[in-house]
Structure 1
Amino acid sequence: MRDRSATSLYQALRLRQVEPRRRTEQVVSAKLRAPTGVHHRRQLVSHATTAININRAQQDNDDGTDPRQLQQLLAVPRHQLLVLLWRDGSWTVIKSTTHRVLLHVPPSIDHQAHSIVDNKLADALVVITATRDSALACQSILFRSILAGKAFSQHILRDECLAWPSFVEFDASNGKIMVCNPSSRRIAVWDMKSYELCFEHVALGPIVDVKFSRELLLVLLGSDPAQKLQKVAGVDLQFGEVRFEVALECPLRLTQLEFVHELCGRLLVKQRRKPVQVYHIRSKRVVSLADTSDVTAENVFLDQRDCCFSVLRNKTIERRDADGNVVATAEIDEVVAADFRIGQVTRFEQAITIYVAPSTKAPGRIHVVCEVTGAVLASSSVGSLDAQDESPVLQALTFNCWHDELYTVDQSNLVRTWKMQSQPNKSIMQEVLDDVLK
């Protein structure tokens, strides 16, 4: 949700939840054994299905969207819950094992749900709502209340003005909430567990964007008239002090900026159709990475724990260190590679990354790919079990790494739980690890 057009309230908030990165102990070598193909291939088998038929408005919204469509799907594995946020502002909580509806909260005149966040530190669901006066409000609902079928909420961030152009961001890995008001150049950081104010920071220049990094807050500073990014400041998340400021060699227009990431003392800056530039924060040295012009924000993924990042291309997964050097490559199954686009990323132990990607050719088909070997862990149609029927277009999907499960919702609001089949008494992840560590 990065578009901040003032014409729409739904575009007035940028909310991004950063999942915590688990520490990986496995060292990835420069040469990895080629994938064995069908040895890793598994089918996704549906073991629980249900159609969510909540009584919602049948008419279209003002923007032409169907209010019955799903806006966000959130899995809460520790409580075996699925939270579904609908376009009309209502939200539903169901049990992921039985798909029994535990709670449904319809939209009200004063508050309409906009986004949902799983706050693991407080064991609560945070619901960001749009208010009648075109502002935003945040409510925290304990999961023990939801499991009891009730929605007792606590208003948080009451002292913050969340009207346009302010935005809020939740970061589970750092345990912080960031509220930014570009007009006043003020940034406030709150604790996710206690909802107490940690510190305030006032930027010395116009704020282009603010984003979380590991133990840092990256403040992108630029110029108002030309809307160009000129320098990046790193603010310590514990004390609120400025650790560094890096001036770019050439100011970048925001329309051409692909991404800015901090990775182990380096800044990765990417401009459209240009190579990735690596800025060394201490030495001020700048290195341009060859053959990275096609890298985009959608096909690059950071691993802060191992100080490396992965790039997904047509048929390969490249793993690079913080300086941009390729340390490992893995080939994706040829059959899947021609039909593969990047989707959800889930980190596992032992340097295993699962890419859950909807198919480009068949809207109801997905692929689950391992980063280390490039092997296809699972590939299946998530449409009807009847082969005669066409696979429906998926509205949303999310992966549960705790139980090797995939949850999907299609256009008919049919919720399905898919289990990756494996050998008896042996999980699919353990099977992959046994093979990788040989």
Structure 2
Amino acid sequence: MEPRRISASPRPCSGRRVVARKRPRQESVVSSVRKLQRREISSRRDRACAMTAAQERFRNITLQEEFDTHDPKENCLLLPYLRKRSKIIEIVAARDIVFALSQSGVCAAFSRETNQRICFLNGSPDEVIRSLFYNKNNDSLITVSVYGSENFSALRCRTTRIEYIRRGQPDAGFSLFETESLKWPGFVEFDDVNGKVLTYSAQDSTYKVFDLKNYTLLYSVSDKNVQEIKISPGIMLLIYTRTSSSVPLKILSIEDGTVLKSFSHLLHRNKKVDFIEQFNEKLLVKQEGENLQILDVRNFQLTEVSRTEFMTPSAFIFLYELQLFLTFRNRSVAVWNFRGELVTSFEDHLLWHPDCNTNNIYITSDQDLIISYCKADSTDSSSEENAGSINISSILTGKCLAKVNSGNGNSCKQKKAWKFQNTVSEALEDITALYYDEERDEIYTGNRHGLVHVWSN
């Protein structure tokens, strides 16, 4: 599960930095030697088999089910704003339950066993749910909400066991971080990779780190000069207020807050900083109109990538297993290594949305596939004009292995079933959220009408 930073701003904050999902390993510790062994043992033949398996897995995928998050009867007690039909902005699956969150703030839970809606998660008429997070550590769903009674300006977190939701008892959970003041510009960030929660209280300029397993407070960082905190495996990067020619930085242990390194990075005067990102021992710094700088904080060796080769992306996805990172810019996706070299450019993978909405992108836990909502191939005469396609591509080769579009088999001829509001081509129009359930081998998509569609073999 990627880190989810939710801001207390009245308007949802779309975070630019996310982390690809990582399936927990059976062994508690994986040594560097074993990682290298696995990398050396993996051959092209193995990769070819894996790609063939992926092609077969998605070859005959079709529309199987449709869920609706809008129910005028059930939502009649909610605020007028919440009663309106609105687009799906987030989908999360846990066990056999699919959670769909609409832009208006209504969250519904559906069972894949019965294909029925279980319940709505809004606990009060003025609750607007802003984001969802599945905590696999204790098999629970965390909802982050704002309330009309607080002018929608303060975040409130609540955790509910999946078992309670399955029974139709969403009110059986309990509140989290009640002592924290998470008013704008405060935020909460869930980091599944390190098993931590980061909160920021703007009232006293304090960052706090909690254990994601039991929500106990581990330590806090109180410093008005800290402008931003970035989390990567094992460490936190503290970015301080810049001077005219440098930016002070600190690297902390994510476990106990111990300062591991303090230093300043030189900057070009009077140039805006586009981004500062940390990935293990690598620091990425980009200023407006300047080259990308990749600094190894262990020995301060600096690598520069020409600004004409690496232009500022709108979003990153860091691939911890592969020691690579994805960049998103102008609907295109690219893969880079930390030597500043372009590893992969994707074929037939033009994203539908011009702004990178990471809720429309899924990276598999093995980090070998990217599943995205894309523009349909203009050369495909069988595709509907207004419908996009769900593309499954190899991250290492950039090849499109499979796609779900209105021209798949006879799907374009499929009429609207009595239980569906959308045909296949309509279900592929303006998809606003996408999620892949790796356990069930199913893709879930949501659209602007508040409908959720299930695609599987």
Match of 1:404 among 441, 446, 451: 441
Q: 1:5-404 residue pairs with structure 2 within 5 A?
A: 8-11=9-12, 18=19, 20-22=21-23, 25-26=38-39, 42-55=59-72, 56=75, 61=81, 67-77=84-94, 79-106=95-122, 108-109=124-125, 111-131=127-147, 132-133=149-150, 134-151=153-170, 152-182=172-202, 184-203=204-223, 206-223=225-242, 230-250=247-267, 256-290=272-306, 291-298=308-315, 300-311=316-327, 319-326=335-342, 328-329=343-344, 332-333=347-348, 336=349, 343-349=360-366, 352-359=368-375, 362-381=386-405, 385-386=412-413, 391=426, 392-404=429-441
> Structure 1, residues 330-381: CA drift from partner, whole Å, max 9, x if none?
6525xx55989775131343x5132323327745422111112323232122
> Which residue identity does 1:144 align to in structure 2?
E
> Which residue identity does 2:251 align to in structure 1?
G
> Which residue identity does 1:376 align to in structure 2?
C
> Which residue identity does 1:95 align to in structure 2?
S
TM-score (norm 2): 0.74
Shift of the alpha carbon at 1:142? 0.8
Structure 1: runs of 5+ lacking an equivalent: 422-438
Distance 1:195 1:338 in 2: 37
| Aligned-pair Cα RMSD in Å | 4.0
Distance 2:140 2:331 in 1: 40
Contact 1:317 1:374 in 2 (8 A): no
> Structure 1, residues 245-293: CA drift from partner, whole Å, max 9, x if none?
3423216889x54433222311012335543210121222322113533
1:52 and 1:265, CA in 2 relative to 1: closer, same or farther beyond 3 A? Answer: closer
1:382 and 1:101, CA in 2 relative to 1: closer, same or farther beyond 3 A? Answer: farther
3-state SS, counterpart of residue 282 of structure 1 = coil
3-state SS, counterpart of residue 146 of structure 1 = helix
3-state SS, counterpart of residue 283 of structure 1 = coil
Tell me which moved more, 205-214 or 122-131: 205-214
| Paired positions, count | 403
1:381 and 1:229, CA in 2 relative to 1: closer, same or farther beyond 3 A? Answer: farther
Contact 1:73 1:396 in 2 (8 A): yes
> Which residue identity does 1:218 align to in structure 2?
L
> Structure 1, residues 126-172: CA drift from partner, whole Å, max 9, x if none?
11121322322111111111011101121111121111222110101
Distance 1:370 1:305 in 2: 15
Distance 2:249 2:43 in 1: 33
Distance 1:212 1:387 in 2: 47
Shift of the alpha carbon at 1:295? 4.5
Shift of the alpha carbon at 1:18? 4.6
Contact 1:51 1:415 in 2 (8 A): yes
Contact 2:87 2:450 in 1 (8 A): yes
Distance 1:12 1:352 in 2: 28
Tell me which moved more, 142-151 or 368-377: 368-377
Residue identity over aligned pairs, in percent, reads 20
Contact 1:276 1:292 in 2 (8 A): no
Contact 2:230 2:278 in 1 (8 A): no
> Which residue identity does 2:166 align to in structure 1?
L
1:158 and 1:416, CA in 2 relative to 1: closer, same or farther beyond 3 A? Answer: same
1:221 and 1:414, CA in 2 relative to 1: closer, same or farther beyond 3 A? Answer: same
Distance 1:233 1:212 in 2: 12
Shift of the alpha carbon at 1:238? 1.0
Distance 2:265 2:195 in 1: 29
1:147 and 1:201, CA in 2 relative to 1: closer, same or farther beyond 3 A? Answer: same
Contact 2:196 2:211 in 1 (8 A): yes
Match of 2:453 among 416, 426, 431: 416
> Which residue identity does 2:446 align to in structure 1?
V
Distance 1:348 1:172 in 2: 13
Contact 1:167 1:180 in 2 (8 A): yes
Contact 1:330 1:372 in 2 (8 A): no
3-state SS, counterpart of residue 299 of structure 2 = coil
Distance 1:338 1:115 in 2: 23
Counterpart of 1:433? none
3-state SS, counterpart of residue 173 of structure 1 = coil
TM-score (norm 1): 0.77
1:262 and 1:126, CA in 2 relative to 1: closer, same or farther beyond 3 A? Answer: same
